[in-house]
Chain A
Amino acid sequence: MTLAELQSTFSQHLLYQSVDLAELEITGPFSAEQLMGLYRNNFYIGLSEYLSDCFPAVVALVGEEFFAQLAKAYIIECPLSQANLELYGQGFAPFIKDCPQAESLEYLADIAALDWAFDRAKSVVSLQDFPFTQLAQVTAQQQQQISFRLQPETLLLCAPYPLLKIWLGAKSGELDALEMKSDERVVMYPNKHSGVLFCNLSSTEYQFLQQVQAHASLQSLSALPDFQDLLKHFISLHIINDFKFAGEA
């Protein structure tokens, strides 16, 4: 057996694909199944622990056993494609959204998105202040073509249930008597002083930030209600922290 063949068979076994372990010609203190089981357990436990660290509210909502099943399904379906784990959790919320096992928990994918955004926002160290001086130099003609930027790692979510209350309740262990039919819009963003901040948004605020996130031009934004107040407000909160000219990356 060549090295590539051995690694292929070994890898397939780790991923629960059907292989003939006898081909590996393993010896040791226990059976080949038991010894390979040690490696397989170690692989899943390592990645599951990483995911449970990134998604504490999801764990709190579904319990460790169900979370382990979700994690295992994710590891098999969305393989780790680099050694660095830092961004491996990025696909977990979209995975949950499409996962039949989590179908009955309609809010779970959004809770995972909040967990992930919180984790990512914490990792941001240097935050850029809004470039007021540069904005003052923009000519009136250029002004209509500029678009604003949200602070990196900012998350906007809108849900037909009390998303932030569920997330906070799961994290604190106090999930009593929520009115599940109240919808909610949320922004979560990195902050210099607190690490991460989040709050509810009105539908007008949400629509405005959605447009900013989509890089709508100043000309389009100015058609939205309360445009000037909203722009000032979100710049003052450091949620909007930059602007670009049309075509500029």
Chain B
Amino acid sequence: MTVLTPPCSLAIAENAIGVGLRSPHYQQILAQLPDIAWLEIHSENFFNAGSAQRDLLDRLAVHYPLSFHGIGLSLGSTDPLNKQHLRQLKSLIDNYQPALVSEHLSWSSFSGRYFNDLLPVPLTSESLNVFCDRLNQVQDFLGRAVLVENPTVYLNFTQSHIDEWAFLNEIQRRCQSGLLLDLNNIYVNSINLGIDAEHYLQNINVDAVREIHLAGFTRKVLEDGEILIDTHGSPVSEPVWELFRNFRSRCQAPALIEWDNDIPDLAVLLAEARRAEREQLAGAPEQVPI
């Protein structure tokens, strides 16, 4: 088995299934140390070095490989990078040397105001230049590659003239970053905006994919129809499992169950992780007998 070898104390193996670490499960995971291949945290929740969260992370880092998933760098914004945020992130990373560090293809701040959301980037040459410039600055400062996650978007901008998969591939080419592929986001976008999920997965640079996210969505009924919302508040849907099985035949990057809202008992989350292990066996590349 090949093991990813970033500068970390605990690496994450190919095909390893992890779960997102969320506060309702902190104490149970710490007490029971369940069989989970790796844990992912939201970086911003662990910035405060004297906090209870950091104390917990100190203890869990001994037992589990870690991935740090950021939601606040606002890489798609025209604002200058928030240096304080970046310093806090670097300090966190330097402390734990996580196996993976990731952010989003999105923006969340403008003119110094933050919006606590992952807002859509128009897929234009200008956005690409802005995003790559900022990502390069971040990677230079952190001294390591960052994975960029494909977003859920609920609208298109007419000015967008680059396919999202091509936009992500170009970011990766220009910045030598990696990709975090969220299969639920691709599915949600395919239903809401009519993109072809299989075409997307065929064209994404699979060699650059270092992590996969699996999550659930919610159906929201509007006056004149229905839309899927990427709530991360329900089990992984059957169509997303199907995408996972198919994509697994080409990509063995570690995968993560993300559950952020209406967080269930840990047992339910772990059952989703077990299912991911079974599903990937069904999607594994055929072994050629020697």
Partner-B contacts on A (CB < 8 A): 1-4, 6-8, 10-11, 14-15, 24-30, 32, 34-36, 38-39, 42-43, 46-47, 50, 79-86, 122-126
- Whether B113 pairs with A81 at a CB distance below 8 angstroms is yes
Q: Mark B235-266, 1 if CB is under 8 A from A, else 0.
A: 00000000000000000000000000000000
> 7 closest Cβ contacts across the A-B interface?
A83-B72, A25-B158, A28-B155, A80-B114, A35-B155, A4-B78, A11-B110
Of residues 151 through 171 on chain B, the ones whose CB sits less than 8 Å from some CB of chain A are 154-159
* Besides A30-B225, A86-B45, 18 new A-B residue pairs in contact (Cβ under 8 A), listed by A number: A7-B77, A8-B110, A11-B110, A15-B113, A25-B158, A26-B156, A26-B157, A28-B193, A30-B222, A38-B227, A81-B114, A82-B84, A84-B47, A84-B72, A85-B44, A125-B51, A125-B54, A126-B50
Q: How far is the CA of A30 from the CA of B85 in the complex (A)?
A: 36
Among listed B12-20, B28-36, B115-123, interface-contacting one: B115-123
With contacts A7-B77, A25-B159, A28-B192 taken as known, whether A83 is within 8 angstroms of B44 at the C-beta atoms is: yes
Partner of A83, one of B82, B124, B126: B82
- Whether A30 pairs with B82 at a CB distance below 8 angstroms is no
**B-side interface mostly:** mixed
- Whether B114 pairs with A83 at a CB distance below 8 angstroms is yes
With contacts A25-B157, A30-B225, A83-B72 taken as known, whether A3 is within 8 angstroms of B114 at the C-beta atoms is: no
- Whether A125 pairs with B111 at a CB distance below 8 angstroms is no
Minimum Cβ distance to chain B for residue A226 (Å): 34
Question: Which residues of B are found within 8 Å of A29, using beta-carbon distances?
Answer: 192-193, 225, 227
Partner-A contacts on B (CB < 8 A): 44-45, 47-48, 50-52, 54-55, 71-74, 77-78, 82, 84-85, 88, 107-117, 119, 122, 124, 126-127, 130, 154-159, 192-193, 220, 222-225, 227, 229
- Whether A39 pairs with B117 at a CB distance below 8 angstroms is yes
- Whether A30 pairs with B113 at a CB distance below 8 angstroms is no
Question: Which residues of B are found within 8 Å of A79, using beta-carbon distances?
Answer: 113-114
* Residue among A11, A36, A83 having the largest count of chain B Cβ atoms under 10 Å: A83
Q: How far is the CA of A4 from the CA of B77 in the complex (A)?
A: 8
Minimum Cβ distance to chain B for residue A25 (Å): 4
Question: Which residues of A are found within 8 Å of B119, using beta-carbon distances?
Answer: 7, 10, 39
Closest to A79 in B: B113
Question: Which residues of A are found within 8 Å of B84, using beta-carbon distances?
Answer: 82
Q: How far is the CA of A6 from the CA of B76 in the complex (A)?
A: 12
Partner of A2, one of B45, B126, B158: B126
Q: How far is the CA of A86 from the CA of B50 in the complex (A)?
A: 13
- Whether A7 pairs with B110 at a CB distance below 8 angstroms is yes
Question: Which residues of B are found within 8 Å of A124, using beta-carbon distances?
Answer: 50
Closest to A75 in B: B116
- Whether A84 pairs with B88 at a CB distance below 8 angstroms is yes
Q: How far is the CA of A85 from the CA of B44 in the complex (A)?
A: 8
- Whether A11 pairs with B113 at a CB distance below 8 angstroms is yes
Minimum Cβ distance to chain B for residue A43 (Å): 5
- Whether A3 pairs with B126 at a CB distance below 8 angstroms is yes
- Whether B50 pairs with A125 at a CB distance below 8 angstroms is yes
Question: Which residues of A are found within 8 Å of B55, using beta-carbon distances?
Answer: 125
Question: Which residues of A are found within 8 Å of B45, using beta-carbon distances?
Answer: 86
Minimum Cβ distance to chain B for residue A19 (Å): 13
With contacts A4-B78, A26-B155, A26-B156 taken as known, whether A83 is within 8 angstroms of B109 at the C-beta atoms is: yes
- Whether A47 pairs with B124 at a CB distance below 8 angstroms is no
27 A-B pairs in the complex with CB atoms less than 8 angstroms apart: A2-B126, A3-B124, A6-B122, A7-B77, A7-B119, A25-B159, A26-B157, A27-B156, A28-B154, A28-B156, A30-B222, A38-B154, A38-B227, A43-B115, A46-B117, A47-B116, A80-B113, A80-B114, A80-B116, A81-B112, A82-B114, A83-B72, A84-B72, A86-B47, A122-B52, A123-B52, A125-B54
Question: Which residues of A are found within 8 Å of B47, using beta-carbon distances?
Answer: 84, 86
Q: How far is the CA of A231 from the CA of B72 in the complex (A)?
A: 44
Question: Which residues of A are found within 8 Å of B110, using beta-carbon distances?
Answer: 7-8, 10-11
